[in-house]
């Protein structure tokens, strides 16, 4: 079947787990409409009840918030601390190939008044897992993607904190599985199946690394999770999620700085600035599914009413699918590949139903409409 696009935003029918209604609207747009009439007061009451269950009685930490220094984790931490009176412990898993603006933003976030744990996995181990992830999953930062879930849960267990608060549930907000729309929490099985795309065990196995080397990349077993009573929640369940509002709050209260120029493959400069591998991740997303970073960013702006579909379409046609040339030498050195081997891996993930080869370029057989 030929690809088609949401009639409201620009989500593409090739997006994993996406659904469309009879009017051709994707589930992200349907959800955006539902949010306008939702009883958020009732959901905020559920949030208050959840927080009160874990609120420390002795002044200690009462929840864990994964942060990168970017807008979303900073916003969640700020809300927890300054609106709901919680004492969150922030945790960051250091990414490979971090960017200066991301490093500054993390330092600024910590300096704005948060206790923080920095988890720094062995960079050689992460490099192996990222390389396997690139080759076997088409995910160039797959090792880090594992760790921001496994290591975060391990930190929570070690600090005896049972409540973990991530930002948005991306499947609900951006067009994917809707199975958690009525639940504020997700399970480890869901994280493996959806967030890690059922590749966790495969990548660990294919890495050839020992259990000792990959200790940070393994989920606690069911017994450990039960004893720790871990609950993994997403803030977007309790409040109308608005990435641009998050950016403004993080900029005002947590020292967030934008990149000087727009990010590779899109028109924005204030999101996903922490690591160079993200640009490669969204380029591979374009090769696999036909949509890239600009489609995602335009969809967010369209759904929040800040941009028309036609304006978004023009930006997608201009920016989507741009290869991050500025990072090429960095990628080759990091993955220990020459240019031919590197692009051969990328070519393996190009969707032949969506692209044709023209010399050394993949040319789309479609035009967003």
275 vs 94: CA distance, rounded Å: 9
Write the pLDDT tens digit of every residue in 136-149.
999 999 999 999 99
221 and 79 co-located in one domain: yes
Of 237, 252, 280, the residue at which a domain comes to its end is: 237
Q: Do 190 and 270 have their domain in common?
A: no
pLDDT score of 11: 96
Distance CA(352)–CA(365), nearest Å, equals 9
Contacts of 67 by beta carbon, 8 Å cutoff, 6+ apart: 73, 74, 76, 77, 90, 91, 92, 106, 109, 114, 116
Q: Are residues 85 and 189 in the same domain?
A: yes
Sheet with 63-66, side-by-side order of all strands:
116-119, 88-93, 63-66, 163-166, 231-234, 185-186
Beta bridge partners of 364: 355
The residue with tokens 């300054």 is 82
Quick count: other Cβ atoms within 10 Å of Cβ 144? 24
Q: Is residue 86 domain-shared with residue 137, that is, in the same domain? A: yes
Q: 262: pLDDT confidence band, cut at 50, 70 and 90? A: confident
Is residue 53 domain-shared with residue 112, that is, in the same domain? yes
Q: How far apart are CA 4 and CA 194, in angstroms?
A: 23
In a domain, residue 74? The reply is yes
User: Are 53 and 141 in the same domain?
Assistant: yes
Are the C-beta atoms of 105 and 70 separated by less than 8 Å?
A: yes
Do 209 and 291 fall within a single domain? no
pLDDT at 1 over 80: no
pLDDT in tens, 307-349: 999 999 999 999 999 999 999 999 999 999 999 999 999 999 9
Handedness of CA 332, 333, 337, 338 (dihedral sign): positive
Residues spanned by the domain of 334 = 265-362
* 103: in domain: yes
Categorize the per-residue pLDDT at 270 as very low, low, confident or very high, splitting at 50, 70 and 90.
confident
N residues, the chain: 369
What is the average pLDDT value for the chain, to the nearest integer?
94
Going by pLDDT thresholds of 50, 70 and 90, the confidence category of residue 282 is: very high
Tens digit of each residue's pLDDT (9 = 90 or more) over 79-110: 999 999 999 999 999 999 999 999 999 999 99
38-59: average pLDDT: 92
* CATH, residue 221: 3.40.50
For residue 316, the model assigns a pLDDT of: 95
- For the segment 250-257, the average pLDDT, to the nearest whole number, is 96
Claim to verify: residue 220 and residue 274 sit in the same structural domain: no
Query: Which of 100, 73, 77, 96 is CA-nearest to residue 87?
Result: 77
Both 228 and 352 in one domain: the answer is: no
Break the chain down into helix, strand, coil percent, rounded to 5: 50, 10, 40
Q: Which residue has the higher pLDDT, 267 or 303?
A: 303
Yes or no: say if 134 and 345 are a contact pair by the CB < 8 Å rule: yes
Total domains in the chain come to 2
Read off the pLDDT band of 226 (50, 70, 90): confident
Summarize the confidence of residues 50-78 as an average pLDDT.
93
Considering the domain architecture, whether residues 186 and 275 belong to the same structural domain is answered as no
Residues 181 and 271 in one domain: no
Rounded to 5 degrees, what are φ and ψ at 92?
-125, 135
Give me the helix-helix angle, 293-303 and 243-253, nearest 10°: 90
Report the distance separating Cα 128 and Cα 208, nearest Å. 9
Decide if 127 contacts 302 (C-beta within 8 A).
no
Do 203 and 132 touch, CB atoms closer than 8 A?
A: yes
Asked if 145 and 55 sit in the same domain, the reply is yes
DSSP string, 19-82: -B-TTS-BHHHHHHHHHHTS-HHHHHHHHHHHHHHH--SSSS--EEEE--SSHHHHHHHHIIII
Residue 116 CA from chain centroid, whole number: 20
- Enumerate helices (H) and strands (E) in the chain, giving the number of each: 16, 8
């Amino acid at each position: 079947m030929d690809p088609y696009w949401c009639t409201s935003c620009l989500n593409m029918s090739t997006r994993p787990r996406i659904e469309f209604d009879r009017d051709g609207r994707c589930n992200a747009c349907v959800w955006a409409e539902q949010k306008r009439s939702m009883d958020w007061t009732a959901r905020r009451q559920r949030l208050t009840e959840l927080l009160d269950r874990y609120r420390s009685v002795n002044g200690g930490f009462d929840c864990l918030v994964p942060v990168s220094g970017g807008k979303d984790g900073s916003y969640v931490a700020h809300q927890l601390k300054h609106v709901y009176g919680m004492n969150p412990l922030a945790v960051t898993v250091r990414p490979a190939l971090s960017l200066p603006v991301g490093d500054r933003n993390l330092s600024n976030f910590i300096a704005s008044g948060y206790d923080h744990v920095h988890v720094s996995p062995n960079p050689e181990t992460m490099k192996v897992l990222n390389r396997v992830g690139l080759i076997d999953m088409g995910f160039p930062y797959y090792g880090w993607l594992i760790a921001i879930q496994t290591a975060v849960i391990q930190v929570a267990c070690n600090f005896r904190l049972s409540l973990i608060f991530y930002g948005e549930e991306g499947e609900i907000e951006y067009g994917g599985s809707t199975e958690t729309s009525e639940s504020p929490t997700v399970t480890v099985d869901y994280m493996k199946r959806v967030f890690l795309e059922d590749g966790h065990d495969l990548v660990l196995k294919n890495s050839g690394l020992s259990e000792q080397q990959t200790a940070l990349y393994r989920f606690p077993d069911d017994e450990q999770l039960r004893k720790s009573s871990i609950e993994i929640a997403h803030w977007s369940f309790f409040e109308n999620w608005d990435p641009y509002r998050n950016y403004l709050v993080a900029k005002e209260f947590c020292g967030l700085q934008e990149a000087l120029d727009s990010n590779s493959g899109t028109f924005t400069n204030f999101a996903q600035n922490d690591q160079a591998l993200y640009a490669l991740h969204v380029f591979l997303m374009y090769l696999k599914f036909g949509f890239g970073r600009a489609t995602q960013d335009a969809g967010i702006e369209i759904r929040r009413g800040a941009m028309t579909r036609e304006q978004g379409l023009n930006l997608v046609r201009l920016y989507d699918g741009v290869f991050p040339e500025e990072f090429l030498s960095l990628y080759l050195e990091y993955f220990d590949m020459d240019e031919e081997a590197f692009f051969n891996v990328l070519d393996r993930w190009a969707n032949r139903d969506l692209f044709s080869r023209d010399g050394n370029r993949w040319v789309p057989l479609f035009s967003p409409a």
